[in-house]
Amino acid sequence: MCRVVTQKRYTVFNVFVDHYSGYSYVHFQLSTSASETILAKRAFERHAKLYGVNISHYHADNHIFDSKVFAEEVEMCGQTIFYCAVNAHHQNGKAEKKIRDLQDVARSMLLHAIQRWPDAITFHLWAFAIRHANDIANHVPTKSKDMLSPIERFSKVDVKSQVKVSHTFAPPCYVLDSMLQQNKRVNKWSNWARVGTFLGISQQVRNACNYCKRMEESRHSRRVGFVRYSHMERRIHD
């Protein structure tokens, strides 16, 4: 499928937080319309089913979640929903706290990356920063007695954090040439890798990373060499 450059950009993101485990799922939207919010709800439920979890109840703010079409969607799926009182966002504290935490972490990572590489990193990458921050939060062990991460509680499966393949947001990375990835020969004087920017773990391709070759496109790759900002140490992730 051919990738087409578009001027459309995400403007908001929806956060779904599991009350028991603290596991969170983010879905990006072009607007806050009811149709896009329903698509976000369905995407979250498909994601939850991958871990054997069925969603039966929602607790949400008012606004678009109180619309007729969204309520009909919840009822059609055999689910229930409760709403916060007017101007009582504290009644949905878990979701509000998660939104604030993701925004703070993503903002810090993005500003740090812009200072390190201003020619390549812009604020247009905020969605990748939000998703990367969410992935980190889901895999980091909590301060509870069992020291389980949110994804372990949510899926009820032991999924230990892989610290060796964890990286900061948007460091320079070298992606192995596609010919070499296929074990084919290339000219010894040509570049064996393309320079890009690490944007987080891919959500579509297993064991792959998102990287940005140019500012207008992002791709997936499995053979990536990373350059750390702190020690400028090159690490190879396969």
The predicted structure's pLDDT at residue 6: 67
CB 216 within 8 A of CB 188: no
Locate 18 and state its tokens. 């599991």
- Cα–Cα dist 223/217, whole Å: 18
- Cα–Cα dist 193/184, whole Å: 14
The predicted structure's pLDDT at residue 17: 96
Higher-confidence residue of 13 and 179: namely 13
Residues with Cβ within 8 Å of residue 160, at least 6 apart in sequence:
none
Domain ranges of the chain: 12-155, 163-237
CATH of domain 12-155: 3.30.420.10
pLDDT in tens, 83-141: 998 878 788 889 999 999 999 999 999 999 999 888 889 998 999 999 999 999 999 88
Helix ranges (DSSP H) in the chain: 34-49, 68-76, 93-116, 126-139, 150-155, 178-181
Rg (CA), the chain: 20
**What residue type is 230 in one-letter code?**
S
Q: Which of 176, 187, 165 is nearest to 223 (CA)?
A: 176
- Cα–Cα dist 97/18, whole Å: 13
Q: What angle do the packed helices 93-116 and 126-139 form, to 10 degrees?
A: 120
Task: Report the mean per-residue pLDDT for the chain.
Answer: 83
- Cα–Cα dist 25/15, whole Å: 6
